[in-house]
Amino acid sequence: MLTHIVSFAASGVGAGLGIGIGGGLGALGAGVGIGIIFGKVIESVTRQPEMRDEITSIQWLGFALTEACFFYGLVAGLLSYVLK
């Protein structure tokens, strides 16, 4: 069993798998986060329409910070591809 795992790891197949897992899990987390942010923005603008501009500027900040987490995952995957 252990030799199977080691030979799989040494075969270089893991490189492509690394990008796939990194990108996939990153997109999962970022998708959930961005959905929550925009959902909350919609809720709060419905409650208080006069606060729309302030909330919009906080919304873009939150969106970019959450999207960055997807890129952390992607870069980790790319690192695994480069390091094999």
Q: Which residues bind other proteins (CB under 8 A)?
A: 57, 60-61, 63-65, 67-68, 71-72, 74-75
Q: Which one, 10 or 64, has the nearer CB to other proteins?
A: 64
Q: How far is the CB of 5 from other proteins (least distance, A)?
A: 29
Q: How far is the CB of 23 from other proteins (least distance, A)?
A: 10
**Token duo for residue 35:** 């959905």
Q: How far is the CB of 78 from other proteins (least distance, A)?
A: 9
